[in-house]
Protein backbone atom coordinates (compact mmCIF):
# COMPACT_ATOMS: atom_id res chain seq x y z
CA UNK A 1 0.00 0.00 0.00
CA UNK A 2 1.34 3.41 -0.93
CA UNK A 3 1.84 5.65 2.06
CA UNK A 4 0.14 9.02 1.70
CA UNK A 5 1.97 12.21 2.53
CA UNK A 6 1.14 15.89 2.38
CA UNK A 7 3.06 18.29 0.10
CA UNK A 8 4.60 19.97 3.13
CA UNK A 9 5.97 16.62 4.28
CA UNK A 10 7.46 15.97 0.86
CA UNK A 11 8.98 19.44 0.53
CA UNK A 12 10.03 20.29 4.07
CA UNK A 13 10.13 17.28 6.38
CA UNK A 14 13.26 15.88 4.77
CA UNK A 15 15.14 19.01 5.86
CA UNK A 16 14.70 18.16 9.53
CA UNK A 17 14.74 14.36 9.56
CA UNK A 18 16.72 11.45 8.16
CA UNK A 19 15.27 8.55 6.14
CA UNK A 20 16.16 5.58 8.35
CA UNK A 21 14.74 7.15 11.52
CA UNK A 22 11.72 8.59 9.72
CA UNK A 23 10.93 5.16 8.28
CA UNK A 24 10.19 4.05 11.85
CA UNK A 25 7.90 7.04 12.42
CA UNK A 26 5.71 6.81 9.33
CA UNK A 27 1.98 6.08 9.37
CA UNK A 28 2.79 2.56 8.20
CA UNK A 29 5.31 2.09 11.03
CA UNK A 30 2.84 3.31 13.66
CA UNK A 31 0.11 1.08 12.21
CA UNK A 32 2.50 -1.87 12.33
CA UNK A 33 3.28 -1.10 15.97
CA UNK A 34 -0.41 -0.86 16.87
CA UNK A 35 -1.03 -4.26 15.29
CA UNK A 36 2.04 -5.74 16.97
CA UNK A 37 0.54 -4.64 20.27
CA UNK A 38 -2.79 -6.32 19.50
CA UNK A 39 -0.97 -9.52 18.53
CA UNK A 40 1.13 -9.45 21.70
CA UNK A 41 -1.99 -8.87 23.79
CA UNK A 42 -3.66 -11.95 22.32
CA UNK A 43 -0.56 -14.11 22.78
CA UNK A 44 -0.13 -12.97 26.39
CA UNK A 45 -3.71 -14.03 27.04
CA UNK A 46 -3.09 -17.41 25.45
CA UNK A 47 0.11 -17.86 27.48
CA UNK A 48 -1.94 -17.67 30.67
CA UNK A 49 -4.87 -19.72 29.39
CA UNK A 50 -7.33 -16.82 29.38
CA UNK A 51 -8.10 -17.24 25.70
CA UNK A 52 -7.69 -20.11 23.24
CA UNK A 53 -4.32 -20.45 21.56
CA UNK A 54 -6.06 -20.86 18.21
CA UNK A 55 -7.79 -17.50 18.67
CA UNK A 56 -4.52 -15.81 19.57
CA UNK A 57 -2.84 -17.18 16.45
CA UNK A 58 -5.75 -16.10 14.25
CA UNK A 59 -5.63 -12.58 15.69
CA UNK A 60 -1.86 -12.43 15.21
CA UNK A 61 -2.23 -13.70 11.64
CA UNK A 62 -4.50 -10.77 10.80
CA UNK A 63 -2.20 -8.22 12.47
CA UNK A 64 -0.36 -7.33 9.26
CA UNK A 65 -0.12 -3.66 8.44
CA UNK A 66 -0.50 -4.16 4.67
CA UNK A 67 -4.09 -5.36 5.26
CA UNK A 68 -5.23 -1.96 6.52
CA UNK A 69 -5.35 1.58 5.13
CA UNK A 70 -3.75 4.12 7.49
CA UNK A 71 -5.39 7.04 5.67
CA UNK A 72 -8.85 5.55 6.11
CA UNK A 73 -8.13 4.74 9.75
CA UNK A 74 -7.00 8.31 10.28
CA UNK A 75 -10.26 9.65 8.92
CA UNK A 76 -12.26 7.22 11.07
CA UNK A 77 -10.21 8.10 14.15
CA UNK A 78 -11.82 11.53 14.35
CA UNK A 79 -15.11 10.04 15.54
CA UNK A 80 -13.51 8.29 18.53
CA UNK A 81 -10.62 10.64 19.22
CA UNK A 82 -7.94 8.03 18.53
CA UNK A 83 -7.06 5.51 15.78
CA UNK A 84 -7.28 2.41 17.97
CA UNK A 85 -11.09 2.25 17.98
CA UNK A 86 -11.50 1.98 14.18
CA UNK A 87 -8.49 -0.33 13.96
CA UNK A 88 -9.98 -2.74 16.50
CA UNK A 89 -13.23 -2.65 14.57
CA UNK A 90 -11.45 -3.60 11.34
CA UNK A 91 -9.30 -6.24 13.03
CA UNK A 92 -12.37 -7.81 14.60
CA UNK A 93 -14.06 -7.99 11.20
CA UNK A 94 -10.95 -9.53 9.64
CA UNK A 95 -10.51 -12.50 12.03
CA UNK A 96 -12.50 -15.73 12.00
CA UNK A 97 -15.77 -15.56 13.90
CA UNK A 98 -14.45 -17.82 16.66
CA UNK A 99 -11.63 -15.38 17.45
CA UNK A 100 -13.71 -12.21 17.44
CA UNK A 101 -14.64 -12.23 21.15
CA UNK A 102 -10.93 -12.21 22.00
CA UNK A 103 -9.75 -9.26 19.92
CA UNK A 104 -8.44 -6.41 22.15
CA UNK A 105 -9.39 -8.54 25.17
CA UNK A 106 -9.09 -6.62 28.45
CA UNK A 107 -7.37 -3.58 26.96
CA UNK A 108 -8.34 0.01 26.41
CA UNK A 109 -7.34 2.26 23.53
CA UNK A 110 -4.66 3.99 25.59
CA UNK A 111 -3.00 0.67 26.38
CA UNK A 112 -2.57 -0.03 22.69
CA UNK A 113 -1.48 3.44 21.60
CA UNK A 114 0.93 4.02 24.51
CA UNK A 115 2.53 0.62 23.95
CA UNK A 116 2.75 1.27 20.21
CA UNK A 117 4.43 4.63 20.75
CA UNK A 118 6.96 2.98 23.08
CA UNK A 119 7.57 0.40 20.37
CA UNK A 120 7.97 3.06 17.68
CA UNK A 121 10.42 5.01 19.86
CA UNK A 122 12.48 1.89 20.56
CA UNK A 123 12.65 1.01 16.88
CA UNK A 124 13.52 4.55 15.79
CA UNK A 125 16.18 4.76 18.49
CA UNK A 126 18.17 2.02 16.74
CA UNK A 127 19.29 4.09 13.72
CA UNK A 128 19.26 7.28 15.81
CA UNK A 129 21.81 5.84 18.24
CA UNK A 130 23.97 4.69 15.33
CA UNK A 131 24.04 8.25 13.97
CA UNK A 132 25.00 9.51 17.42
CA UNK A 133 27.79 6.94 17.60
CA UNK A 134 29.07 8.10 14.20
CA UNK A 135 28.95 11.73 15.33
CA UNK A 136 30.86 10.89 18.51
CA UNK A 137 33.50 8.99 16.54
CA UNK A 138 33.95 11.97 14.21
CA UNK A 139 34.27 14.34 17.18
CA UNK A 140 36.84 11.99 18.75
CA UNK A 141 38.93 12.05 15.57
CA UNK A 142 38.89 15.85 15.57
CA UNK A 143 39.85 15.98 19.25
CA UNK A 144 42.68 13.50 18.74
CA UNK A 145 44.03 15.12 15.57
CA UNK A 146 43.86 18.66 16.93
CA UNK A 147 44.75 17.97 20.55
CA UNK A 148 47.43 20.67 20.44
CA UNK A 149 46.09 22.94 17.69
CA UNK A 150 46.03 26.36 19.34
CA UNK A 151 43.11 28.68 18.69
CA UNK A 152 41.23 31.56 20.28
CA UNK A 153 38.67 30.83 22.97
CA UNK A 154 35.73 33.22 22.92
CA UNK A 155 33.56 34.27 25.85
CA UNK A 156 30.54 36.58 25.67
CA UNK A 157 31.17 36.87 21.93
CA UNK A 158 34.71 38.25 22.35
CA UNK A 159 38.20 36.81 22.00
CA UNK A 160 39.24 35.75 25.50
CA UNK A 161 42.32 33.52 25.86
CA UNK A 162 44.08 30.65 24.06
CA UNK A 163 42.59 27.18 23.94
CA UNK A 164 42.90 24.28 21.52
CA UNK A 165 40.58 23.09 18.83
CA UNK A 166 41.09 19.64 20.30
CA UNK A 167 39.53 20.79 23.57
CA UNK A 168 36.60 22.36 21.74
CA UNK A 169 36.02 19.09 19.87
CA UNK A 170 36.43 17.18 23.14
CA UNK A 171 33.58 19.22 24.61
CA UNK A 172 31.44 18.31 21.62
CA UNK A 173 32.42 14.67 22.08
CA UNK A 174 31.43 14.50 25.74
CA UNK A 175 28.07 16.10 24.95
CA UNK A 176 27.40 13.45 22.31
CA UNK A 177 28.52 10.57 24.53
CA UNK A 178 26.29 11.78 27.36
CA UNK A 179 23.32 12.22 25.02
CA UNK A 180 23.79 8.74 23.60
CA UNK A 181 24.11 7.17 27.04
CA UNK A 182 20.94 8.85 28.29
CA UNK A 183 18.90 7.88 25.26
CA UNK A 184 20.21 4.33 25.39
CA UNK A 185 19.18 3.99 29.04
CA UNK A 186 15.73 5.45 28.41
CA UNK A 187 15.24 3.20 25.40
CA UNK A 188 16.04 0.11 27.46
CA UNK A 189 13.45 1.08 30.09
CA UNK A 190 10.53 2.15 27.89
CA UNK A 191 7.55 0.20 29.17
CA UNK A 192 4.53 -1.42 27.66
CA UNK A 193 1.18 -0.11 28.88
CA UNK A 194 -1.62 -2.38 30.04
CA UNK A 195 -4.23 -1.49 32.62
CA UNK A 196 -7.64 -1.88 31.09
CA UNK A 197 -10.37 0.70 31.35
CA UNK A 198 -9.34 2.32 34.66
CA UNK A 199 -6.02 0.66 35.47
CA UNK A 200 -7.34 -2.25 37.54
CA UNK A 201 -6.86 -5.01 34.93
CA UNK A 202 -10.34 -6.13 35.97
CA UNK A 203 -10.98 -8.30 32.91
CA UNK A 204 -8.04 -10.55 33.79
CA UNK A 205 -8.93 -11.10 37.43
CA UNK A 206 -5.95 -12.13 39.52
CA UNK A 207 -3.96 -13.06 36.39
CA UNK A 208 -3.50 -9.38 35.52
CA UNK A 209 0.13 -8.97 36.65
CA UNK A 210 1.19 -12.13 34.80
CA UNK A 211 -0.58 -10.94 31.64
CA UNK A 212 1.31 -7.63 31.89
CA UNK A 213 4.65 -9.45 32.15
CA UNK A 214 3.91 -11.72 29.18
CA UNK A 215 2.54 -8.83 27.11
CA UNK A 216 5.69 -6.74 27.66
CA UNK A 217 7.91 -9.74 26.94
CA UNK A 218 6.20 -10.39 23.60
CA UNK A 219 6.82 -6.74 22.62
CA UNK A 220 10.40 -6.65 23.88
CA UNK A 221 9.52 -3.72 26.16
CA UNK A 222 9.94 -3.25 29.89
CA UNK A 223 7.06 -4.27 32.17
CA UNK A 224 5.75 -1.42 34.29
CA UNK A 225 4.90 -2.29 37.92
CA UNK A 226 1.62 -0.34 37.57
CA UNK A 227 -0.28 1.07 34.61
CA UNK A 228 1.00 4.57 33.76
CA UNK A 229 -2.14 5.97 32.12
CA UNK A 230 -1.82 9.26 34.00
CA UNK A 231 1.70 8.81 35.38
CA UNK A 232 3.67 9.98 32.37
CA UNK A 233 7.25 9.73 33.64
CA UNK A 234 8.32 7.23 30.93
CA UNK A 235 7.48 9.74 28.19
CA UNK A 236 9.00 12.61 30.17
CA UNK A 237 12.25 10.66 30.45
CA UNK A 238 12.22 10.07 26.70
CA UNK A 239 11.42 13.71 25.97
CA UNK A 240 14.25 14.85 28.25
CA UNK A 241 16.74 12.53 26.57
CA UNK A 242 15.70 13.72 23.11
CA UNK A 243 15.75 17.36 24.19
CA UNK A 244 19.24 16.89 25.62
CA UNK A 245 20.37 15.29 22.37
CA UNK A 246 19.07 18.28 20.41
CA UNK A 247 20.85 20.64 22.80
CA UNK A 248 24.15 18.75 22.42
CA UNK A 249 23.99 18.67 18.63
CA UNK A 250 22.69 22.25 18.52
CA UNK A 251 25.69 23.48 20.49
CA UNK A 252 28.04 21.84 17.98
CA UNK A 253 26.12 23.28 15.05
CA UNK A 254 26.17 26.76 16.54
CA UNK A 255 29.93 26.60 17.13
CA UNK A 256 30.57 25.38 13.61
CA UNK A 257 28.38 28.11 12.12
CA UNK A 258 30.22 30.81 14.06
CA UNK A 259 33.67 29.43 13.25
CA UNK A 260 32.70 29.25 9.56
CA UNK A 261 31.80 32.95 9.35
CA UNK A 262 33.78 34.72 6.65
CA UNK A 263 35.56 37.01 9.13
CA UNK A 264 36.57 34.02 11.27
CA UNK A 265 37.07 31.27 8.68
CA UNK A 266 38.53 28.70 11.06
CA UNK A 267 36.41 25.80 9.79
CA UNK A 268 34.19 25.06 6.80
CA UNK A 269 31.64 22.37 6.08
CA UNK A 270 32.62 19.91 3.37
CA UNK A 271 30.43 18.67 0.56
CA UNK A 272 30.65 19.42 -3.15
CA UNK A 273 27.62 21.34 -4.37
CA UNK A 274 26.26 21.94 -0.85
CA UNK A 275 25.65 25.34 0.68
CA UNK A 276 24.78 27.26 -2.47
CA UNK A 277 22.69 30.43 -2.58
CA UNK A 278 19.88 31.19 -5.04
CA UNK A 279 21.08 34.80 -5.29
CA UNK A 280 24.83 34.90 -4.52
CA UNK A 281 27.04 32.58 -6.61
CA UNK A 282 30.04 32.96 -4.32
CA UNK A 283 28.39 31.72 -1.12
CA UNK A 284 29.10 28.44 0.62
CA UNK A 285 26.64 28.29 3.46
CA UNK A 286 27.08 25.89 6.43
CA UNK A 287 23.92 23.97 5.61
CA UNK A 288 24.21 21.17 8.17
CA UNK A 289 24.99 23.71 10.89
CA UNK A 290 21.91 25.72 9.91
CA UNK A 291 19.55 22.73 9.83
CA UNK A 292 20.79 21.24 13.11
CA UNK A 293 20.50 24.64 14.76
CA UNK A 294 16.93 24.90 13.48
CA UNK A 295 16.09 21.48 14.95
CA UNK A 296 17.62 22.46 18.29
CA UNK A 297 15.51 25.63 18.38
CA UNK A 298 12.32 23.60 17.88
CA UNK A 299 13.12 21.00 20.53
CA UNK A 300 12.34 22.96 23.73
CA UNK A 301 8.80 23.76 22.59
CA UNK A 302 8.06 20.10 21.96
CA UNK A 303 9.62 19.02 25.25
CA UNK A 304 7.62 21.75 26.96
CA UNK A 305 4.37 20.49 25.43
CA UNK A 306 4.98 16.99 26.79
CA UNK A 307 5.76 18.31 30.25
CA UNK A 308 2.76 20.64 30.15
CA UNK A 309 0.52 17.70 29.25
CA UNK A 310 1.92 15.42 31.95
CA UNK A 311 -0.24 16.52 34.90
CA UNK A 312 -3.28 14.42 34.04
CA UNK A 313 -6.51 13.97 35.92
CA UNK A 314 -7.71 10.89 37.80
CA UNK A 315 -7.32 7.54 35.99
CA UNK A 316 -7.53 8.70 32.36
CA UNK A 317 -6.84 12.11 30.87
CA UNK A 318 -9.16 14.25 28.77
CA UNK A 319 -6.85 15.91 26.28
CA UNK A 320 -3.49 15.68 28.05
CA UNK A 321 -2.79 12.23 26.68
CA UNK A 322 -3.96 13.23 23.21
CA UNK A 323 -1.61 16.24 23.24
CA UNK A 324 1.46 14.00 23.53
CA UNK A 325 1.38 11.93 20.35
CA UNK A 326 2.54 14.31 17.63
CA UNK A 327 5.09 16.26 19.72
CA UNK A 328 6.70 12.99 20.78
CA UNK A 329 7.04 11.73 17.22
CA UNK A 330 8.26 15.15 16.09
CA UNK A 331 10.97 15.07 18.77
CA UNK A 332 12.22 11.68 17.59
CA UNK A 333 12.12 12.95 13.99
CA UNK A 334 14.14 16.08 14.82
CA UNK A 335 16.63 14.16 16.96
CA UNK A 336 17.24 11.68 14.15
CA UNK A 337 17.90 14.42 11.62
CA UNK A 338 20.13 16.36 14.00
CA UNK A 339 22.21 13.29 14.88
CA UNK A 340 22.68 12.28 11.24
CA UNK A 341 23.60 15.79 10.09
CA UNK A 342 25.98 16.30 13.01
CA UNK A 343 27.76 13.07 12.09
CA UNK A 344 28.13 14.21 8.48
CA UNK A 345 29.15 17.72 9.46
CA UNK A 346 31.91 16.57 11.81
CA UNK A 347 33.15 13.77 9.58
CA UNK A 348 33.82 16.19 6.72
CA UNK A 349 34.77 19.30 8.68
CA UNK A 350 37.53 21.34 7.05
CA UNK A 351 39.67 22.55 9.96
CA UNK A 352 42.06 25.44 9.25
CA UNK A 353 44.84 25.69 11.86
CA UNK A 354 46.65 28.51 10.04
CA UNK A 355 43.55 30.66 10.16
CA UNK A 356 43.14 29.82 13.83
CA UNK A 357 46.68 30.99 14.51
CA UNK A 358 46.19 34.17 12.48
CA UNK A 359 43.09 35.06 14.49
CA UNK A 360 44.92 34.27 17.72
CA UNK A 361 47.75 36.65 16.77
CA UNK A 362 45.44 39.39 15.45
CA UNK A 363 45.33 41.30 18.75
CA UNK A 364 49.10 41.45 19.18
CA UNK A 365 49.24 39.29 22.28
CA UNK A 366 46.29 40.82 24.16
CA UNK A 367 44.83 37.36 24.65
CA UNK A 368 47.77 36.59 26.93
CA UNK A 369 47.11 39.53 29.26
CA UNK A 370 45.93 37.11 31.93
CA UNK A 371 49.18 35.14 31.61
CA UNK A 372 51.33 38.26 32.06
CA UNK A 373 49.31 39.38 35.08
CA UNK A 374 49.65 35.93 36.63
CA UNK A 375 53.46 36.12 36.34
CA UNK A 376 53.53 39.56 37.96
CA UNK A 377 51.04 38.84 40.73
CA UNK A 378 53.48 37.14 43.15
CA UNK A 379 55.70 40.26 43.14
CA UNK A 380 53.18 43.11 42.83
CA UNK A 381 49.99 41.56 44.17
CA UNK A 382 47.04 40.55 42.05
CA UNK A 383 45.32 43.94 41.89
CA UNK A 384 48.45 45.93 41.05
CA UNK A 385 49.52 43.39 38.42
CA UNK A 386 46.06 43.49 36.87
CA UNK A 387 46.07 47.31 36.72
CA UNK A 388 49.56 47.42 35.15
CA UNK A 389 48.65 44.95 32.42
CA UNK A 390 45.35 46.74 31.78
CA UNK A 391 47.21 50.02 31.21
CA UNK A 392 49.53 48.35 28.75
CA UNK A 393 46.59 46.72 26.97
CA UNK A 394 45.19 50.13 26.13
CA UNK A 395 48.23 51.09 24.04
CA UNK A 396 48.81 50.23 20.36
CA UNK A 397 51.75 47.81 20.87
CA UNK A 398 50.96 45.57 23.83
CA UNK A 399 54.39 43.96 24.07
CA UNK A 400 56.25 47.27 23.83
CA UNK A 401 53.89 48.84 26.35
CA UNK A 402 54.58 46.05 28.81
CA UNK A 403 58.32 46.39 28.46
CA UNK A 404 58.03 50.15 29.00
CA UNK A 405 56.57 49.58 32.47
CA UNK A 406 59.36 49.97 35.04
CA UNK A 407 57.49 47.95 37.67
CA UNK A 408 57.24 45.07 35.24
CA UNK A 409 60.92 45.25 34.17
CA UNK A 410 61.94 45.09 37.81
CA UNK A 411 60.53 41.55 37.99
CA UNK A 412 60.27 40.19 34.45
CA UNK A 413 62.95 40.11 31.74
CA UNK A 414 62.24 40.49 28.05
CA UNK A 415 62.43 36.68 27.57
CA UNK A 416 60.00 36.32 30.49
CA UNK A 417 57.53 38.62 28.75
CA UNK A 418 57.91 36.73 25.47
CA UNK A 419 57.32 33.44 27.28
CA UNK A 420 54.19 34.88 28.86
CA UNK A 421 52.97 35.99 25.42
CA UNK A 422 53.38 32.48 23.93
CA UNK A 423 49.87 30.95 23.59
CA UNK A 424 51.22 27.42 23.94
CA UNK A 425 52.38 28.27 27.44
CA UNK A 426 48.90 29.28 28.65
CA UNK A 427 46.85 26.21 27.86
CA UNK A 428 46.68 24.81 31.37
CA UNK A 429 45.27 21.28 31.38
CA UNK A 430 43.80 21.45 27.88
CA UNK A 431 45.70 18.42 26.59
CA UNK A 432 44.87 16.37 29.68
CA UNK A 433 41.19 17.25 29.36
CA UNK A 434 41.19 16.14 25.73
CA UNK A 435 42.71 12.83 26.79
CA UNK A 436 40.02 12.41 29.46
CA UNK A 437 37.29 12.99 26.89
CA UNK A 438 38.84 10.42 24.56
CA UNK A 439 39.08 7.91 27.43
CA UNK A 440 35.40 8.48 28.21
CA UNK A 441 34.53 7.88 24.57
CA UNK A 442 36.57 4.66 24.49
CA UNK A 443 34.88 3.40 27.65
CA UNK A 444 31.44 4.19 26.26
CA UNK A 445 32.32 2.43 23.01
CA UNK A 446 33.61 -0.67 24.81
CA UNK A 447 30.73 -0.88 27.26
CA UNK A 448 28.00 -3.32 26.24
CA UNK A 449 25.34 -0.73 25.44
CA UNK A 450 21.73 -1.75 25.66
CA UNK A 451 21.25 -0.45 22.14
CA UNK A 452 23.62 -3.12 20.90
CA UNK A 453 21.06 -5.75 21.83
CA UNK A 454 18.77 -6.34 18.86
CA UNK A 455 15.15 -5.52 19.58
CA UNK A 456 13.01 -8.61 19.15
CA UNK A 457 10.31 -7.99 16.58
CA UNK A 458 6.80 -9.31 17.18
CA UNK A 459 6.09 -12.12 14.77
CA UNK A 460 2.54 -12.06 13.41
Q: What does the angle CA 76 – CA 80 – CA 83 come to, to the nearest 5 degrees?
A: 55
CB atoms within 10 A of CB 113: 23
Residue 141 pairs with which residues in a beta bridge? none
Please say whether the beta carbons of 275 and 307 come within 8 A: no
Please say whether the beta carbons of 299 and 242 come within 8 A: yes
CB atoms within 10 A of CB 83: 24
Kind and range of the H or E run holding 160: strand 158-164
Please say whether the beta carbons of 119 and 221 come within 8 A: yes
Question: Is 316 noted as a catalytic residue in this protein?
Answer: yes
> Concatenated DSSP letters for 40-65?
HHHHHHHHTTSS-HHHHHHHHHH--G
Calpha distance 192→400 (Å, rounded): 71
Calpha distance 179→249 (Å, rounded): 9
User: What single-letter DSSP state applies at residue 222?
Assistant: B
Of 272, 281, 292, 262, which Cα lies nearest the Cα of 132? Answer: 292
Q: Say which of 214, 316, 341, 344 is annotated catalytic.
A: 316
Kind and range of the H or E run holding 153: strand 150-155
Kind and range of the H or E run holding 267: strand 267-268
Question: Is 277 noted as a catalytic residue in this protein?
Answer: yes
Calpha distance 150→135 (Å, rounded): 23
Backbone angles phi, psi at 373, to 5 degrees: -60, -40
Q: Say which of 54, 277, 429, 447 is annotated catalytic.
A: 277
Question: Which residues are catalytically annotated?
Answer: 277, 316
Amino acid sequence: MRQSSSPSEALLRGLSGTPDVDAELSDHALLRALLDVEAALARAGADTGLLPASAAEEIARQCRAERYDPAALGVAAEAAGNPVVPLVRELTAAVDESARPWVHHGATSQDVLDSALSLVAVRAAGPLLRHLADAAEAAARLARTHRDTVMTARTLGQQAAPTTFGLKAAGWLVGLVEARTRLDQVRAGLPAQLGGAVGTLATYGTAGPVIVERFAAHLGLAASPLPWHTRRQPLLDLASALGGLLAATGKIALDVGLLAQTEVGEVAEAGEGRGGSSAMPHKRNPVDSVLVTAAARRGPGLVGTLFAAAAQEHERAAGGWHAEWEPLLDLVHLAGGAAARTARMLAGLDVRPQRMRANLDATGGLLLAEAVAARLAPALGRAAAHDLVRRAAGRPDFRAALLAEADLRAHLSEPDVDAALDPAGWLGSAGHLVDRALDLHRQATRSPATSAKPHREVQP
